[in-house]
Amino acid sequence: MKVKIIPILSDNYSYLIIDKENKFCSAVDPASPEEIIPFLEKEKIGLKNILNTHYHSDHTAGNLELKDKFKCKIYGPDKEKDQIPGIDVALKENDTLKINDYSVKIFETPGHTAGHIIYWFEKEKVVFTGDTLFVLGCGKLFEGTPEIMWNSLLKIRNLPKKTQIYCGHEYSKNNADFALSVEKNNNKLIERSDEINKLINENSFTVPTTLEKEIECNPFLRADVDNIKKNLEMENASPVEVFGEIRTKKDIF
């Protein structure tokens, strides 16, 4: 599975899932056509599908221009179908679809937005998480409670550990700094932070990450881990309460 990472806007990632043999691709959250189209034209690749994770304009603003130019089909969350420009197919929990030659399963992961979805390529062990899960972070709770978002993150945490995660933004440096403020005695996190700083200094991408790395280091996936609870002096709190405290701290970090 060939995934082309396209950095767009100020700190977003869009992704092209490329079928080299048939010279077409599917784009995940291609909000900026002026950064997508030159690559497609240079490589002589058509755009067959757009996969939107949620309705925010920094993920969907390119829909109509790209659809007009390439006649592509637009997929997005059913619960946000009235907010997704040009949507053709509305997707719900446990829906499956064929993208290129791949089978994709849909999970609803509300929290950042009420209808957010992620795209899980089961055989390839690849997931596009939009703004639900980032490298060492998670999305702000614009339209959800800590409980809603924690349950969404558990869906991702339950995927195979080798899963490659492609997220919606490049926030990794700030997320690493914050994670260390919550769990500075996590040796794997210290190593991961050094790795991220090295990648950024080299102008390299910090995606994809793996689920295994996130389980070891991402505080938002570790709200039920004793070390985090102890560091926050919340040993007797529920995972939802701990997650809520971590999210509150990140919002003002």
Rounded (5°) CA angle 79-146-14: 55
Residues 6+ apart with CB under 8 A from 44: 23
Amino acid at 239: P
Q: Provide the 3-class DSSP secondary structure of residue 79.
A: helix
DSSP β-bridge partners for residue 6: 14
Q: Which of 11, 58, 78, 224 is catalytic?
A: 58
Q: Which of 11, 19, 29, 59 is catalytic?
A: 59
DSSP one-letter code for 84: S
Q: Which of 29, 54, 88, 194 is catalytic?
A: 54
DSSP β-bridge partners for residue 104: 97, 121
Q: Tokens at residue 113, please? A: 């937005």
Cβ pair 60, 85 in contact under 8 A = yes
Annotated active-site residue 116? The verdict is no
Q: Which of 19, 56, 224, 226 is catalytic?
A: 56
Q: Which of 19, 29, 112, 116 is catalytic?
A: 112
Annotated active-site residue 101? The verdict is no
Question: Which residue's entry shows tokens 């690849």?
Answer: 126
Q: Tokens at residue 27, please? A: 């784009």
HSE-CB of 149 using CA atoms within 13 angstroms: 28
DSSP one-letter code for 221: G
Q: Which of 19, 29, 116, 169 is catalytic?
A: 169
Annotated active-site residue 112? The verdict is yes
Q: Provide the 3-class DSSP secondary structure of residue 159.
A: coil
Q: Which of 131, 194, 224, 226 is catalytic?
A: 131
Enumerate the H helices of the chain as residue ranges.
33-43, 57-60, 63-70, 146-157, 172-182, 187-201, 211-217, 226-231, 239-251
What residues are labeled active site? 54, 56, 58-59, 112, 131, 169
